[in-house]
Every structure is written in structure tokens, then in C-alpha cells.
């Protein structure tokens, strides 16, 4: 009996090691498609969490919109050049307007404002606020959807905002600081525009290379953000940008805009949509923990409880609107 129990323990440990080996970057090329997709999802979960800290570091030394603009222009240009060389078709005339709208909502507003926001609030708090965008989808749906909103989505909505209230309770004194209030407002508006961008994408999906379309949006949005930043009195000429900001921009371009986006699209194409969305719950955890470790940002029990309640609410909302297998295939075909 004792021997049987020991063998069972060894077997369980072996299975665990085998499952974790899917995340070993040294052997990932030898694995199947699903293992590669899981590894890609793990990369996304960590890298997009770290980008909040890179943005926080970069905006300490230069205007936020200028940094976001340079980042998007570089990332977008790399996408367009690469896929042009691969023979990808440029957007058709009918696709240009939807792409411009998405560039404005997702990159000019959402990315630009969230980058600006972390200048005034912690990277961890900014990442948690960004994670609540599915809650806005439920609120928008209350006024626009003719179909009944699932009860689970309503519960998730209530829990999500309850978690945010718990977090803000820990920051009540900070609201006396105008800069903190401004950072919160920028971050919340960024989640609104991302929600509207998500709805617009669903209604006006473009049927061409998603990487190429992403590059087009990034390049256009980057140019707009950079132009807007030239009106800022704190605008820094390109040769005078400090190395700390260039290091942040390089990290955001390579790891945030290129590697993570490609990894996310790969995981989305080869994993169920609900599983691929797990990154949204891990990103804030990574940002909060690294923010506390690297920048000494506040890591209190209230923040952790509020963050967990918020993310659970978001999870319920996402689960309530889980796509059917047929809808998932449609998304993968776009």
C-alpha cells in the first residue's frame, strides 16, 4: 500500500514536470502547436505586464505622448516593412476608414492616454484599471443590446467595480493630489476607448493580414501622437532624448509591440478564446509585483484584495460572453 502511494506520487510529479516542460524555451521548437501556443500565451502574460513598468520609467524623462508616438511609429514601421517584403497586400480603400478609426481609439487614445496616466499613478494601479475594460462593454450593452444581458455578466460587473472601490479606498488621501486624479481620469478614459475599439472591431472586422493591419494602425497613431506632442512645452528634440527613455522605448517596441503582439495572435489562433484571454488576469499581477519590487510602489493588503475581486469580476464577464466554437473559428479566419 505504501509502495503504491509512493508510485502514485512519483507519477503525479512526472506528469507535472512534463506539463511544465511545454514552457521550456530551449525545447519549445520540438513541441507541438498547442505547446507552442501555451508558451506564447505565457510570454504575453509576462511581457505585457512588464510594459507598464517600462512606460513608467520612460515617462519620467520625457513627455508621455512623445514617447508613445515614437514607440508606435517604430513598431508600426517594422511591421509594415517586414510584411511588405513578404508580399502582404496593402489595405483596400474600403478598409482604410475602419483602420483609421481603430488607430484613433486603440492607439492614439487608449495607448496614448494610459501611457500618460502612469506618469501620475503607479504602474500596478494603471494595469488594474486597464483590466476593467470588459466591464464597460457590459454597461454599453445595457443601453445598446436588445438581447438580455447574462446574469453572470451583471454579477461580474458589480464585483469588478466593487473591487475598484476597494482599491480606491486605499488611495483616498491620494485623491487630494490633482496629479493623481488626472492620472486616474486618463487611465479610465483609456479603458473606455479600448472598449469602443473592441466593439468597433467586432462590427467592422477587416479581412486582411492582421499583423499588417496592426502595423498600419500603429504607424498612423504614432505619427498623430508625435505631432500632438510637439505642442507640449516639454517636448524634447530627438537627439536630446535621454538614454533611459530610449531604453524604455526599445523595450516597448521589441517586447511589447512586436514579440508580445505576435505571440498573442499566435496563441489566439491556436487556443480557445477563453484560454487565450487569461493574459488579462496575469498582466496586472506581474505589474503590481514588479512595481513593488523595482519602483517600491505600494503593495498593501487592500490593493491585493481589491485587485483579486476586480479581476474575478472581469473573469465572470468574459465567461458570460464566452464565444461558441463556431464564433471562435470565425475570429481565427479574420
Give the span between the Cα atoms of 332 and 305, in whole angstroms: 35
Give the span between the Cα atoms of 159 and 165, in whole angstroms: 10
Q: Are 118 and 55 in contact (CB under 8 A)?
A: yes
Tell me, yes or no, whether 44 lies in a domain.
Answer: no
Q: What is the pTM of this model?
A: 0.78
Tell me, yes or no, whether 211 lies in a domain.
Answer: yes
Tell me, yes or no, whether 6 lies in a domain.
Answer: no
Q: What is the pLDDT of residue 31?
A: 52
Tell me, yes or no, whether 42 lies in a domain.
Answer: no
Locate all alpha helices (DSSP H) within 59-177, ordered by sequence.
64-85, 93-102, 112-117, 123-130, 133-144, 151-169
Tell me, yes or no, whether 54 lies in a domain.
Answer: no
pLDDT digits (tens, 9 = 90+) for 132-146: 888 887 888 777 777
Q: What is the pLDDT of residue 157?
A: 85
Tell me, yes or no, whether 38 lies in a domain.
Answer: no
Q: Does the pLDDT at position 12 exceed 50?
A: no
pLDDT digits (tens, 9 = 90+) for 180-224: 999 999 999 999 998 888 788 777 655 656 667 888 899 999 999
Give the span between the Cα atoms of 229 and 222, in whole angstroms: 10
Mean pLDDT for the chain overall: 81
Q: Does the pLDDT at position 20 exceed 60?
A: no
Give the span between the Cα atoms of 258 and 75, in whole angstroms: 7
186: phi then psi, degrees, rounded to nearest 5: -60, -45
* Domains contained in the chain, number: 1
Q: Which domain holds residue 271?
A: 60-333
pLDDT digits (tens, 9 = 90+) for 38-88: 888 889 889 999 999 999 999 999 999 999 999 999 999 998 898 888 877
Tell me, yes or no, whether 174 lies in a domain.
Answer: yes
Give the span between the Cα atoms of 246 and 260, in whole angstroms: 19
Q: Determine the average pLDDT of the residues in 95-118.
A: 92
Q: Are 217 and 107 in contact (CB under 8 A)?
A: yes
279: phi then psi, degrees, rounded to nearest 5: -55, -30
Q: What is the pLDDT of residue 8?
A: 47
Give the span between the Cα atoms of 330 and 324, in whole angstroms: 10
54: phi then psi, degrees, rounded to nearest 5: -65, -40
Amino acid at each position: 500500500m505504501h509502495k503504491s502511494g509512493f508510485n502514485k506520487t512519483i507519477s503525479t510529479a512526472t506528469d507535472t514536470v512534463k506539463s511544465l516542460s511545454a514552457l521550456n524555451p530551449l525545447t519549445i521548437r520540438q513541441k507541438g502547436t498547442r505547446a507552442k501556443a501555451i508558451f506564447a500565451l505565457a510570454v504575453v502574460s509576462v511581457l505585457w505586464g512588464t510594459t507598464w513598468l517600462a512606460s513608467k520609467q520612460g515617462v519620467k524623462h520625457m513627455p508621455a505622448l512623445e514617447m508613445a508616438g515614437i514607440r508606435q511609429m517604430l513598431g508600426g514601421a517594422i511591421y509594415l516593412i517586414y510584411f511588405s517584403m513578404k508580399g502582404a497586400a496593402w489595405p483596400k480603400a474600403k478598409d482604410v476608414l475602419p483602420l483609421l478609426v481603430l488607430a484613433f481609439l486603440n492607439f492614439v487614445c487608449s495607448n496614448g492616454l494610459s501611457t500618460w496616466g502612469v506618469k501620475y499613478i503607479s504602474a500596478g494601479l494603471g494595469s488594474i484599471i486597464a483590466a476593467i475594460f470588459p466591464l464597460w462593454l457590459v454597461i454599453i450593452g445595457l443601453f445598446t443590446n436588445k438581447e438580455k444581458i447574462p446574469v453572470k455578466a451583471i454579477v461580474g460587473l458589480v464585483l469588478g467595480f466593487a473591487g475598484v472601490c476597494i482599491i480606491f479606498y486605499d488611495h483616498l488621501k491620494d485623491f487630494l493630489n490633482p496629479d493623481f486624479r488626472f492620472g486616474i481620469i486618463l487611465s479610465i478614459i483609456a479603458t473606455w476607448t479600448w472598449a469602443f475599439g473592441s466593439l468597433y472591431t467586432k462590427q467592422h472586422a477587416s479581412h486582411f493580414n492582421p499583423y499588417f493591419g496592426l502595423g498600419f494602425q500603429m504607424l498612423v497613431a504614432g505619427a498623430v501622437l508625435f505631432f500632438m506632442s510637439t505642442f507640449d512645452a516639454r517636448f524634447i528634440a530627438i537627439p536630446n532624448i535621454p538614454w533611459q527613455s530610449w531604453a524604455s522605448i526599445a523595450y516597448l517596441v521589441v517586447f511589447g509591440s512586436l514579440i508580445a503582439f505576435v505571440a498573442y495572435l499566435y496563441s489566439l489562433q491556436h487556443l480557445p478564446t477563453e484560454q487565450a484571454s487569461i493574459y488579462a488576469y496575469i498582466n496586472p499581477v506581474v505589474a503590481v509585483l514588479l512595481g513593488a519590487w523595482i519602483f517600491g510602489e505600494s503593495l498593501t493588503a487592500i490593493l491585493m484584495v481589491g485587485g483579486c475581486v476586480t479581476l474575478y469580476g472581469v473573469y465572470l464577464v468574459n465567461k458570460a460572453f464566452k464565444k461558441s466554437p463556431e464564433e471562435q473559428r470565425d475570429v481565427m479566419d479574420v
